[in-house]
Amino acid sequence: MANDKTLTIPAVDLTQEQIQSLITTSTGFLDVYEIPVHGDVPILIPQNMILSAMNVKGNVAQVEWHDKHLPTYIVHQPELDDVTALVVEGEQESTRFAVLCDNMPNSMRLRISEVVDVEKATPEQTYLYVQVNGIDYQVPNLRAIEQQVFA
């Protein structure tokens, strides 16, 4: 009679960031949005972090989304009256916020090997700078941005 052996894998408590990183990088590609930033290099943010996009008035402190008022992180040109709000997934539902940008950002599929870290001092809202095909980008520090918009 054969011995029944069961493989038991202990539960692992992964953060949302770790799970998204595993999902995103397992294919060898990064699906990102390229978000222009007024006065700085564009942001690259994983597409799976964006829950929704909608047209809103520029320079507002909050936007309404699904009967919730979300704080905003403004990166659009200040003179724009109508902009695009990208709803960013938070670690919890209560930490979602909206990035206000000029318009709907470009979608890009990047090979992981194309993304090169750039050694450069970073402001608090930037996790790190990277370069893709000779163009500089910033990867946002979402926790710092959350703390800023919810302060």
Provide the pLDDT confidence category of residue 30 given band limits of 50, 70 and 90.
Answer: confident
Q: pLDDT tens-digit profile of 32-63?
A: 999 999 999 999 999 999 999 999 999 999 99
The span from the CA of 106 to the CA of 48, in Å, is 14
CA distance 62 to 148: 13
Q: Would you state the pLDDT for residue 1?
A: 45
Domain positions in the chain are 30-150
Where residue 16 falls among pLDDT bands split at 50, 70, 90?
Answer: low
DSSP secondary structure, 44-69, as one string: EEEGGGEEEEEEEESS-SEEEETTEE
pTM of the model: 0.81
What pLDDT does 135 receive?
95
